[in-house]
A and B are shown apart, each in its own frame.
Chain A
């Protein structure tokens, strides 16, 4: 699952022409470390939702990779 989330995050980053990440750490902050803005987070949400049927932002703000993984 972690490997798949890693792929999804890099898909979102490359769709917006942002630098991909080489490894995934649970303490990484989606905005500050990965450089995602609100529109990137929206795309991340729908890509995760399509695979895991979970809306990661449905009940509150998710800040880190670890928090995303916990929701799935």
Chain B
């Protein structure tokens, strides 16, 4: 199975690549930077791990650079994980439109365009593929300073549900993995006090394990979840 994953240089994206490669998937990973950890993974799996340096801020060349020139129309795609995201966090009275637009471009528009071309690729090869969008618990539970970030993820959740409805009869699935707060760079700007407040709002009273998130994504990508589409699957330490 060939899986396209965005945002693979660090955090969840990198970990997810590792899990999928261990399970013998072929991974097409995209990121705008190359970390040492990423290089290590590339040298461990020279045949099954392909990497492309691409900044998803550039939505114009996604078809040409990613799907045509890099993956190629001859290679079937079985799954897409829209994981890449930027976080512009601030209280709303400080909203800066340029930063907000840039975040929407990467988190929402690039994900939508990737979905467009992944589905087209699946149609070409008659693949009943699976698309997973990484969302955030901030869509469902408010956090100070995250309204703009949460709005991008809420947009993805609405998009995913409708894509699921649109393409279900072809067998193409779309789901969201709603992640709680993990100890990754994405949440590194939070203070310990802020983090503890967040964890205290969860049933398990702790951060979300990255492994639990990655294994659930693998489940949603795989045929084990063939009857699941249009859903938001929470992996959030029980934020209730």
Contact = CB atoms under 8 A, between A and B. Distances in A.
Interface string A45-58: 11101100000000
A23 interface: no
Interface string B126-141: 1000000000000000
Contacts of B121: 46
Contacts of A61: none
A34 to B, nearest CB: 17
A15 interface: yes
A50 B124 contact: yes
A46 B120 contact: yes
Contacts, number: 19
Q: Give chain A's interface secondary structure class.
A: helix
A46 to B, nearest CB: 4
A50 B120 CA distance: 10
A50 B117 CA distance: 12
A39 B169 contact: yes
Given A39-B169, A39-B170, A46 B126 contact: no
Contacts of B124: 43, 46-47, 50
B70 interface: no
Interface in A16-40: 39
B63 to A, nearest CB: 9
A42 B73 CA distance: 16
Contacts of A15: 126
A42 B115 CA distance: 14
B198 interface: no
Interface of A: 15, 39, 42-43, 45-47, 49-50
Interface of B: 73, 119-121, 123-124, 126, 167, 169-170
7 contacts: A15-B126, A39-B167, A39-B169, A39-B170, A42-B123, A45-B120, A46-B123
